[in-house]
Structure 1
Amino acid sequence: MRIDLHTHSSVSDGTDSPAELVAAAVAAGLDVVALTDHDTTDGWAAAERARPAGLTVVPGMELSCRWFPGDGPPVSVHLLAYLFDPGHAGLAEERARLRAERLTRGERMVALLVAAGHPISWEALVRRSAGGVVGRPHVARALVDAGVVASVDEAFATLLHHHSPYYVAKADTDVLDGIRLVRQAGGVPVFAHGLARSRGRVVGDDAMAAMAAVGLLGLEVDHPDHEPDDRAHLRGLAADLGLVATGSSDYHGTNKRTPIAACTTDPGQYEALVALGTGRAPATG
């Protein structure tokens, strides 16, 4: 089996519609694909409708979080949530709050860029997102379309990075609270790309152990942004903490250069993950 447990559609910050993402999974020879859009489940139904026989679609989400160390500023982290009940009140309320945060933050960033003379429009950006979650990749794509930069990567490197005068932070979920919410909703929380050092600061083993102590069930080990030594370290840590070890591409369509199925999950680890979820079943058959 070939299994990719981390992909994004145009419902958040990917470029493929949920149906197109499913088609890409089939074309790549995947047997299982998880749809994990940021802070939303709105693509689940469309992905399941487009699913052909023989492909399993795992319902998931990527939750925007923060780790709060005792001796420094918070660290941005992401939590993958699988197989949870989308109707669970607490988790539904939190993802609605995060989507509102993204909209407010995106509008403020665009206002700063417009004030600096960059020819983009918040109204046009919202129309293009078709009601989905608006994030920095949408702003980056608008800058590309306006001819300000040549690529999404250039937009992030020059205008949208964390130290840019146009960057606006958002109030993300405390990751320990996020883990508790996902578990309460019957889901399986997995710490996403935890040692992706190219993205900025990363947390230490102590943070991941603290997450496991409150209910974390997995670590994303094989990820395009993890170096080989870090993958080996995370695999050993997952074994030490009794966590599932997953692998995935973090596919975003043309917003990133990584193809779907670039990294995959071991079938035995996938079976262990599915056995832990009680809120929602994969779409299969």
Structure 2
Amino acid sequence: MRIDLHSHSSASDGTQPPSDVVRRARERGLDVLALTDHDTVAGHVSAAGALPAGLTLVPGMELSCRRGGRSIHLLAYLFDPREPELLAECARIRRAREERARLTVERLVELGVSVTWEQVAELAAGAPVGRPHIARAMVAAGAVAEPALAFTPEWIGAGGRAHVSRYALDPGHAVRLVRAAGGVPVLAHPKAERRGEAVPDEWIAELAAAGLFGVEADHLDHDEAARRHVRGLAGELGLAVTGSSDDHGELTGHRLGSETTDPEVYERLVATATGAAPITGA
């Protein structure tokens, strides 16, 4: 049984529609896929309607969090998407995301990059605008050769010349919100040093006390030392360990299934959830 618990579609900053994501997942030999777009559940209905036979969809979301100026990502699975407080926070995050994107575009123009808000919005195609959309616009403008090169101090990376901070949830509050909605929270890529987003061990311990279910250890932004460290910490804190591709389509090289989660962990995750259930293709 092959299980990938972290993927993105064009409902946020992935490049493929949800229907294409689930189709590709089955083609890659996956049995279970979680669709975890940023701060939105907009892709779930489309993905569920296009599920190929034999593939199970886990409705999820990747919540934007921040503490001490550090970006933290929380994966939420099988929560009730109608829970009022969680719904309101997601709407607030999406509004802040658009405000940030508009300001980022303004700063890039001041730096001589020929991008416009209209170009970026067109790339987002109705989804919440994120930095990957801006990075793609920068490639089209000839400012960088590939999207990854936009995420540097030179441009829109953390602390960069065109970087703009935005509203995000405190991760402890986010964990409690997900639990209150009957969902299961897992900390995404907690030791992604190359992103400049490594989460201190003491913070992870605090999140475990707040109700964190697990940590994502097997991720392409973790080297072997980071994976061992996360697994050891998870053992000390009684947390589950997951593995996921964090696929964004073309932006990440269509890597669905490159990292997977143990079936026993998946069964525990499903048994823990009370807000929603997985959906299996006919």
TM normalised by structure 1 equals 0.95
Query: Match for 1:102: what amino acid?
Result: R
Matches within 5 A, 1:153-164: 153-157=148-152, 158-164=154-160
The reply to whether residue 113 of structure 1 matches residue 108 of structure 2 is: yes
Distance 1:155 1:205 in 2: 29
Aligned to 1:130: 125
Give RMSD over aligned pairs: 1.2
Aligned to 1:57: 57
Matches within 5 A, 1:13-162: 13-67=13-67, 73-157=68-152, 158-162=154-158
CA contact (8 A) 1:249 1:258 kept: no
Q: What is the deviation of 1:258? A: 6.0
Aligned to 2:280: 284
Matches within 5 A, 1:198-209: 198-209=194-205
Query: Match for 1:188: what amino acid?
Result: V
Deviations 1:139-174 (A, max 9, x none): 000111122211001222341111212100011100
Distance 1:258 1:224 in 2: 13
CA contact (8 A) 2:72 2:197 kept: no
Query: Match for 1:264: what amino acid?
Result: T
Q: What is the deviation of 1:24? A: 1.2
Aligned to 1:215: 211
Aligned to 1:3: 3
Ranges of 4+ aligned residues in structure 1 off by more than 4 Å: none
Aligned to 1:228: 224
SS of 1:99 mapped into structure 2: helix
Which piece of structure 1 moves more, 204-213 or 79-88?
A: 204-213
TM normalised by structure 2 equals 0.96
CA contact (8 A) 1:224 1:258 kept: no
SS of 2:280 mapped into structure 1: coil
Q: What is the deviation of 1:232? A: 1.4
Aligned to 2:188: 192
SS of 1:33 mapped into structure 2: strand
CA contact (8 A) 1:84 1:279 kept: yes
In the alignment, structure 2 segments of 5+ residues that lack a partner are none
Q: Equivalent pairs: percent with the same residue?
A: 52
Count of residue correspondences: 280
